[in-house]
Amino acid sequence: MRVILAPMQGVLDPFVRQLLTEVNDYDLCITEFVRVVDQFLPEKVFYRLCPELKNQGFTSSGTPVRVQLLGQHPECLGMRFKKSCKNMLMSKMNMTAVFTMWHELNSGYVI
């Protein structure tokens, strides 16, 4: 069984994630939503929400952290996903699978 630390808006910030992953054995952490609009967001938005990206997407205790994207513009979501994967070494997910998942959920996905 996998134990995932779920996002809680306004509660589970990077400091709390670090603290909880040091004292508990989580398999994965997921950030709060990053709202992707029809404009390209700068990387600082992602680093502010998930400073673990500077550590290749891991907490200091070695727990992987994934950024959760939410938006209605598949092109912008896809561009952000592709740039995140390239620059932040986060995923090997196939872009076709991402768009299929987006169309099925019509909301967002995690990278």
Q: Domains in the chain: how many in total?
A: 1
Whole domain around residue 61: which residue ranges?
A: 4-110
Instruction: Give 6-41 pLDDT, tens digit per residue.
Output: 888 888 889 999 999 999 999 999 988 888 777 777
Q: What predicted TM-score, i.e. pTM, was given to this entire model?
A: 0.69
Note whether 53 and 46 are within 8 A (CB): yes
Which pLDDT score is estimated for 75? 77
Which residues, 6+ apart, have CB-to-CB distance to 76 below 8 Å?
36, 37, 38, 39, 40
Closest by Cα among 7, 2, 1 to 110: 7
Highest averaged pLDDT of the listed ranges 16-20, 69-73, 94-98: 16-20
Q: 82: domain CATH number?
A: 3.20.20.70
